[in-house]
Amino acid sequence: MKILVVDDHALVREGLRQVLKGLEENLEVLQAGNCEQAFVLAHRHGDLDLVLLDYHLPDMNGLDALAIFGERHPELPIVLLSGSANTQMMRQVLQAGAAGFVTKSCVSDELLRAVRSVLDGDIYLPQELTSSPPLIQQDPVGRPLLTQRQDLVLRCLLDGLANREIAEQLHVSEETVKTHVAAILRHFDVQNRTQAVVAAARIGYRPLSAS
């Protein structure tokens, strides 16, 4: 597993690296002090599994960085970090394509829960900061919307592609595709890919080839 940590404070990056080591023994943690360095590392390491991205960076804010990551690496999940937290900021980062939001004041266990949740294909928010109306937009029957990466995989399923073909098309591993497919099945509360495709078509999802 390989995770990129983006923060302009070296001590924060090192602290996050130490916490993330709790995920697995062979975890590789890359570090960047600004967005420019982060984009270079993401380009060099096409096998990244996740990015932890500080919202406030010297050369760019989190929303602008999310947009660039989404354009260049649409399959790569991003978790935003921030020293401050409010519902408006969380709505903005989720709508911009983030897969999670974590405050820097959170304990180590919460950070690991957030990372594991996002790696499993889910969206993560601190429970104490959720409010009404929902922070995550919902579809007409009340389910949270799929993340940008899950949406791409679903549309490939609508095209009839196998996991291997989806992995090749989106430039990710088959394991990553399997994780997203599992999240899609949970999203539609179905047992298999065929049922997910039928459920998605019923509410207006279109194949990637129809874009």
Q: What is the CATH number of the domain that holds 196?
A: 1.10.10.10
Predicted confidence at residue 132, as pLDDT, reads 45
Strand partners, 124: 100
When pLDDT is cut at 50, 70 and 90, the band that residue 187 belongs to is confident
Among 95, 129, 163, residue at a domain's last position: 129
b (16+ CB within 10 A) / e for 55-93? bebeebebbebbeebbeebebbbbbbbbeebeeebbbbb
Rounded to whole angstroms, the Cα distance separating 143 from 134 reads 11
**pLDDT at 172 > cutoff 80:** yes
pTM as predicted:
0.65
Report the half-sphere exposure of 6 (CA within 13 A, side-chain side): 30
Residue 97 lies in a domain: yes
75 and 122 fall within a common domain: yes
Q: 98-113: per-residue pLDDT in tens?
A: 888 888 877 788 889 8
When pLDDT is cut at 50, 70 and 90, the band that residue 147 belongs to is confident
Residue 100 lies in a domain: yes
117 and 16 fall within a common domain: yes
Q: What is the CATH number of the domain that holds 67?
A: 3.40.50.2300
Residue 139 lies in a domain: no
13 and 74 fall within a common domain: yes
Residue 138 lies in a domain: no
Predicted confidence at residue 130, as pLDDT, reads 52
Residue 135 lies in a domain: no
34 and 115 fall within a common domain: yes
Give the mean pLDDT of 148-173: 88
Domain extent, residue 37, equals 2-129
Walk across the sheet containing 28-32 and list its strands: 28-32, 2-6, 50-54, 78-82, 100-103
105 and 32 fall within a common domain: yes
Predicted confidence at residue 138, as pLDDT, reads 52
Domain tally, the chain = 2
